[in-house]
Structure 1
Amino acid sequence: MDSHRQGQARVAVAATLLSLATFVGVTAAHSGGLAGSARDPIAIPTWLFLLTGGGVVGISFLLASFVTDRRLIDALHDWRRDVPDPGRVGRSVASLAGVGIVAVTLVVGAIGPTTGVRSLTVLVVWVGWWGGYVASTYLLGNTWPTLNPFRTVAERLPTLGRSYPESVGSWPSVAGLLVLVWVEIATPLADDPRLLVAVLAAYTVTTLGGAVVFGADQWFERVDPLARAFRYYGRLAPLGVDNGRLRLRLPGSALPETTLEGRDDVAFIVTLLFVTTYDGGVATGPWAAGVRAVVEMGVPPLVVYLGTYLAGAGLFYLAFRAAARIGRRRADTYRSATYLARRFAPSLLPIAAGYHLAHNLGSVLVLSPTLAAVAAAPLSPPAMPPQLAGLPAWFGGLELACVLVGHLFAVWVAHATAYDVFPSRLQAVRSQYGVTAVMIGYTMLSLWIVAEPYVAPPFLAT
């Protein structure tokens, strides 16, 4: 990165810090606010449980190393079948439906009930969209380019045609992702439909304004964090568009051939992985105890949460960069560590997807019937059933399975990527040492978060 681009990146980081600092004094976790999540502690010692999970990922790497037949790997990842296209009419209906859903969500949130899961707006955003729809982008396929209501409107607005500053690359999307998730964590969006409407309206104005200035293509390709997250998640899904045609493929088969453009794209994927982890980590007992201890020493809660948030994002990125450097040294290759980071970063997407599913699956399954009931009477919803106060105990095992499957999937994607990059089998195996070590560490961290009983983050807004 040249000095000019570094300067632009610093501007983006400074803007992010300023934006994050405007949300002060409280923290909230939407999953707890929605469903009052509660998990039973695991029956075996935590250290044994975590070592077992990390060991499973390590063993899966060893087993994958025995798959050295390039023709088999290529056959698995090149398999495709054409799927009927929904056609222009179907896409138009979906686009209009997306605009209609956002409009209804805004109106009902502004004039409807103001209590948590009694609000259609809260349920649509956190259950229907953040929980259910986001999962569909990696479990089925990325329909956001068609459904995206903001782009549908933006493409019908005049544009100023300003040139997008190439020097800043996609760093604004990294900053935007950090800001969006921070707003979700630091404000009681799950309990305050009016606040949620205000945030959704602000996002709409910002997005449409950016698209008018730079054009819809540039904005949603380089800046908008939601469009970029769904585009990457779509590479993991079994349905995708190849050469303009809708095709069925094996899940994740598009990831090994994905080469990111630069460090900004690597940072975006790593940040996507981090923010979901942080969102779950703040709802654990050790976190709550640690925050209280630090605050009792005189440190403001905002400094604790924001400081660990930004420091954690930076540490995740530096850890992955270090993994790429280890892979380069062990493979003894002329390829740069930056190039290896650009190739191996997509292998982190199954981990991010697995943890997202584990973090939100319980709320989606429990609250989906409530969403349907409230949608039938959005302005006068029925009373919420008392059983929604807690999630069924068996969700805990399902969440752990989602985490492990995501990590095992990531190991295979990294293996296939290595064989796509290196002609030597020994180089291909050795190049994975760094990223596998990171995956093992992250497996143990994410399993610990999922296994910990839910504890409301301290200093919540009331």
Structure 2
Amino acid sequence: MAATRRRRRVLAAGLAALTLAAGPAVGRVLAHGGSLGGDAGRTLDVPTWLFLSTGGAVVGVSFLLSSFATDREFVARVHAYRRRVVGPNADRLATLGQAVGIVGLLLVIGVGVLGPIEPRRNAGVLLVWGGWWAGLAMSAYLLGNAWPVIDPWRTLAGILPTGDRDPSRLPVAPAWLSTVGLLMLFWVEIVSPLADAPRLLATVTLAYTAVALAGAVAFGEAYFTQVDPVARVFRLYGAVAPLTWEDGLRLRPPGAGLTADLLRSRGEVGFVLALLWGTTYDGLVATPPWARLVRTVVAAGIPPAIVYPLALAVGYLIFYGAYLLAVRYGAQFAETRRGEAELARRFAPSLLAIAAGYHVAHYLGYFLTLAPALAAALAMPWGPGPPARLVLPGWFGGLSLAFVLAGHLLAVWVAHGVAYELFPSRMQAVRSQYALTVVMMLYTMTSLWIVSRPYAAPPFIS
């Protein structure tokens, strides 16, 4: 068992090194110091309805094209393809990754308390919102999941006396605790001044540290595998990646890991939808239509403190409900005896490709733009030097649209592969995806609409 864990650390440790070499910086600064739409600063040369309907049609056509791939053995071979990759020394890179995680945590807290007040000069702020939530998160689905090695709370838990209580015995299922925790993280990120207040960010980081270590003391490793929302996000994003550890470091087709039976409960399905909706919500609140809507609602007498969490909760229920409805209709169209719960579990991982595509569309521009600022801040954490910025070419903003479409096209292909695993009949497999494809088309059009909007600061947020 120990040998297996050491082998698995090769992948995460190697990816940690690649992540460090790739450099940093975007985020909410940064997050809502400018959204992807504002960064691009573009306007559409075609009517919006035509632009959105074209994007939706691309997804619909991809479904039609994938339905022609009826050779089950071919589809299975594509998803099962693996090529061994020579990996670096696992133990050394694992030690390095753990050290980097601990140093990063101390830096966020220390520089947050003692460093510059200005967020774009503060290494802690840049490291959290740029290097971690943007850069490291992108590396999880573009390369592979290095978080188990870098995770500082997991490393600290390894030197503490930990218990072995079963999280499943809690009054609320662990996956639903993760879901609520993830939605709360999105809410805090958007409505609080964490990106502008290094001292507050350090305080929140300390609080999260206390919660994580308390969970580890009570539940041991099970806390990180079943409860911790951050660890669950990185683990699921890692299933999208082309690198995996399967008896060695191996290369596989992007998204191939999503065809496996990843999810075990409806709560885990709910978590996937929370990740998809939270990433969408993060972009939605930085659009001009949202700003107008919020001002109208607040003028009608509803406090801003209620508007944002209410919209987050209602939007999540809409996304979740739309997915379950699509699964129900899919089961009816396929005329299958398989239960809706099973179908919901198996098809939900395909949505992770959509979440990944939107995440990279939302954050890549800032990651590249602010990389020099983070590098300078890390070199001189307490230095007063002005933050540098990388100016991106004008055409770069259009890549966001390509990333959104790429994520949705990958999701369609993954769902197609899962359907052929579940159903013996070709027509059953195709019919089971009718409603899900419609939902994906709506997701596509929503995402494209968000990334095509200019940036507008979310109103009533201090």
TM-score (norm. length: structure 2) = 0.90
Instruction: List per-residue Cα deviations over 1:299-333 (Å, max 9, x = no partner).
Output: 10111111111111111111100010011000000
Assess if the C-alpha contact under 8 Å between 2:29 and 2:119 holds in 1: no
AA aligned opposite 1:32? H
Tell me, yes or no, if structure 1 residue 225 matches structure 2 residue 238: no
Within a 5 Å distance, the mapping from 1:265-414 to structure 2 comes to 265-385=268-388, 393-414=394-415
| 1:54 aligned partner | 56
| 1:73 aligned partner | 75
Alpha-carbon deviation of 1:38?
5.5
| 1:9 aligned partner | none
Assess if the C-alpha contact under 8 Å between 1:177 and 1:272 holds in 2: yes
| 1:23 aligned partner | none
CA distance in 2, matches of 1:246, 1:252: 16
Assess if the C-alpha contact under 8 Å between 1:34 and 1:116 holds in 2: no
Q: Secondary structure at the match of 1:292?
A: helix
| 1:130 aligned partner | 133
Alpha-carbon deviation of 1:160?
3.6
| 1:440 aligned partner | 441
Tell me, yes or no, if structure 1 residue 254 matches structure 2 residue 257: yes
Assess if the C-alpha contact under 8 Å between 1:257 and 1:420 holds in 2: no
Q: Secondary structure at the match of 2:251?
A: strand
Report the more deviating stretch, 185-194 or 328-337.
185-194
Alpha-carbon deviation of 1:392?
5.2
Within a 5 Å distance, the mapping from 1:83-102 to structure 2 comes to 83-85=85-87, 86-102=89-105
CA distance in 1, matches of 2:154, 2:322: 35
Within a 5 Å distance, the mapping from 1:193-232 to structure 2 comes to 193-215=198-220, 217-232=221-236
Tell me, yes or no, if structure 1 residue 108 matches structure 2 residue 111: yes
CA distance in 2, matches of 1:420, 1:39: 44
Assess if the C-alpha contact under 8 Å between 1:274 and 1:312 holds in 2: yes
Structure 1 pair 415–165 and aligned structure 2 pair: CA distance change class (3 A): closer
AA aligned opposite 1:41? T
Assess if the C-alpha contact under 8 Å between 1:30 and 1:189 holds in 2: no
Instruction: List per-residue Cα deviations over 1:338-385 (Å, max 9, x = no partner).
Output: 110000000001100010001111110100011111211110131135
Assess if the C-alpha contact under 8 Å between 1:30 and 1:188 holds in 2: no
Q: Secondary structure at the match of 1:381?
A: coil
CA distance in 2, matches of 1:250, 1:337: 28
Tell me, yes or no, if structure 1 residue 191 matches structure 2 residue 196: yes
AA aligned opposite 1:135? M
AA aligned opposite 2:86? P
Unaligned runs of 5+ in 2: 1-27
Within a 5 Å distance, the mapping from 1:150-165 to structure 2 comes to 150-165=153-168
Alpha-carbon deviation of 1:460?
2.5
Q: Secondary structure at the match of 2:348?
A: helix
Instruction: List per-residue Cα deviations over 1:113-171 (Å, max 9, x = no partner).
Output: 01121111111111111111100000001111111111011121012433323462411
Alpha-carbon deviation of 1:214?
1.2
Assess if the C-alpha contact under 8 Å between 1:291 and 1:304 holds in 2: yes
| 1:82 aligned partner | 84
CA distance in 1, matches of 2:308, 2:208: 23
Assess if the C-alpha contact under 8 Å between 2:404 and 2:444 holds in 1: yes
Assess if the C-alpha contact under 8 Å between 1:34 and 1:191 holds in 2: no
Unaligned runs of 5+ in 1: 1-27
CA distance in 2, matches of 1:165, 1:253: 29
Structure 1 pair 393–295 and aligned structure 2 pair: CA distance change class (3 A): farther
Report the more deviating stretch, 176-185 or 34-43.
34-43
Assess if the C-alpha contact under 8 Å between 2:224 and 2:231 holds in 1: yes
CA distance in 1, matches of 2:94, 2:141: 19
Assess if the C-alpha contact under 8 Å between 2:130 and 2:367 holds in 1: yes
Alpha-carbon deviation of 1:294?
0.8
Report the more deviating stretch, 450-459 or 99-108.
99-108
Assess if the C-alpha contact under 8 Å between 1:138 and 1:236 holds in 2: yes
Alpha-carbon deviation of 1:64?
0.5
Report the more deviating stretch, 190-199 or 58-67.
190-199
Assess if the C-alpha contact under 8 Å between 1:181 and 1:275 holds in 2: yes
| 1:14 aligned partner | none
CA distance in 2, matches of 1:259, 1:106: 35
CA distance in 2, matches of 1:37, 1:183: 23
Assess if the C-alpha contact under 8 Å between 1:82 and 1:245 holds in 2: yes
AA aligned opposite 2:430? V
Alpha-carbon deviation of 1:259?
4.0
Task: Please give the root-mean-square deviation of Cα atoms over the aligned residues, in Å.
Answer: 1.6
Instruction: List per-residue Cα deviations over 1:208-245 (Å, max 9, x = no partner).
Output: 11110111x21011100111111111111011122x42
CA distance in 2, matches of 1:210, 1:455: 38
Q: Secondary structure at the match of 1:105?
A: helix
CA distance in 1, matches of 2:81, 2:204: 42
Q: Secondary structure at the match of 1:44?
A: coil
Structure 2 residue aligned with 1:178, among 183, 192, 199?
A: 183
Instruction: List per-residue Cα deviations over 1:158-207 (Å, max 9, x = no partner).
Output: 12433323462411100110111111011011111111111111111100
TM-score (norm. length: structure 1) = 0.90
CA distance in 2, matches of 1:394, 1:206: 44
